[in-house]
Amino acid sequence: MSAEYIPGTCNIGKGEIRRRQLVAIFGLFLTTFSAATIIATDQSKNSRLSIFLPALIFSIGFVQSRKKFCLAYGLAGTFNFGKLGQISKVQSNEDRKSDRKTAVSILFQSAALAAFITAVFFVLPL
């Protein structure tokens, strides 16, 4: 695991990665709970689409923790390898541009994963 900022590749340390893993676990819980509630209460098939938001929470946390890169920090031009909340500014314009590109990529990957989870749940014959 990298312990230093690498533009477009790694902008968070162990503590921040752990925080993203907790977000992923929380999102997974919300997704599972929402799906179970929809099935248990015999909602319409279209209501299954509502798991997209909890699946997106899961996906964003999951992708960020796997990539060791924070979407928000990437867009803001910051990084953190110290204590939680102790962020530093990215100095180079080129590095900030690389970080924004990675952040947007993470957003699209997360949305695609959430859409896939939602689509699978939608087509399941439950």
Any idea where the domains of the chain sit in the sequence? Answer: 14-123
The pLDDT of residue 126: 81
The pLDDT of residue 103: 98
Q: Per-residue confidence of the chain (126 residues) as pLDDT tens digits?
A: 568 999 999 999 999 999 999 999 999 999 999 999 999 999 999 999 999 999 999 999 999 999 999 999 999 999 999 888 889 999 999 999 999 999 999 999 999 999 999 999 999 998
Structure tokens, 42? 């015999």
Rounded to whole angstroms, how far apart are CA atoms 22 and 83? 17
φ, ψ of residue 95 in degrees (nearest 5)? -65, -40
**Angle subtended at Cα 83 by Cα 79 and Cα 84, rounded to the nearest 5 degrees:** 70
